[in-house]
Amino acid sequence: MIFLRVSVCMTERERKAKVIVNFSLSFSYYYFMEKISRLYFASSSDHKKTEMQRLVKSGIEIIIPRQIGYDFNPDENGQSFIENALIKAKALYSVVKEPVLADDSGLVVDALGGRPGIHTARYGCEGGIKLTSRQQYTMLLDEMKGHEDRSARFVSACVLMLGEERIYIVQETVEGSIALEPDGENGFGYDPVFLIAEAGKTAARLSDSEKDHYSHRGRAMRKINQLLSQGENSDEKK
């Protein structure tokens, strides 16, 4: 007997969504997942790889495409974080045919109508221009001048792809605001200008363990790890 399970939890607007979408095929009345020792991570960022290795369940190695000599640069033409994460996951899975983890994340600023959003990594890079992270967050601060509402959030959509019909999706957020000026030296990207509400300081002032606790990606990966652990427990019961 083949059992198709679909579970969706979503708030009214995607920018505040904490989404778990699970598309899986399983046999009998529980889902079987083989024990995973490595995940191919659909990213070319060394910073993200280092962070993801800290976040993923103990005993799993994170491998990025460059490590296997593959130039990974899919066309991220989706209209949401989830769509782009799926594009990346499917593109890498088609090459490695092994379990894949993908993440698409970005900064959503209310006063800017949700920008930079899914274009966060390419913010200010029109016409082939490549900006540094410092240049990008400086541009953001300039654009925020005169705005009283500085509320913002980081969004992370994580996809765990175990097969063409075995896909888990988790989307999480961390709420905060845009600082008046950069503060802190840790992290990467927009971390120096993103004030995390719960922490009371910018992401760039957090230690790695603090960032993993508060961050959008940390929250999403804790749910991915639950899925991985649940699968192993189901395997042990067989």
The one catalytic residue in 71, 75, 104, 149 is 104
The predicted-structure confidence for 141-199, as pLDDT tens digits, reads as follows 999 999 999 999 999 999 999 999 999 999 999 999 999 999 999 988 999 999 999 99
Q: Read off the pLDDT of each residue in 224-235 and give the average, rounded to a whole number.
A: 75
| pLDDT exceeds 60 at position 33 | no
Read off the CATH number of the domain in which 59 is found.
Answer: 3.90.950.10
> How many Cβ atoms sit within 10 Å of the Cβ of residue 169?
23
For residues 118 and 9, the model is more confident at 118
Identify the H or E element spanning 237. helix 216-237
What's the domain count of the chain? Answer: 1
For residues 236 and 88, the model is more confident at 88
| pLDDT exceeds 50 at position 108 | yes
Instruction: Provide the domain limits for residue 91.
Output: 2-237
DSSP 8-state class, residue 57: P
| pLDDT exceeds 80 at position 211 | yes
Q: How far apart, in whole angstroms, are the C-alpha atoms of residue 39 and residue 2?
A: 26
pLDDT at 6: 33
> Are 81 and 32 in contact, with CB atoms under 8 Å apart?
no
Q: Read off the pLDDT of each residue in 62-78 and give the average, rounded to a whole number.
A: 91
Is 104 part of the annotated catalytic residue set?
yes
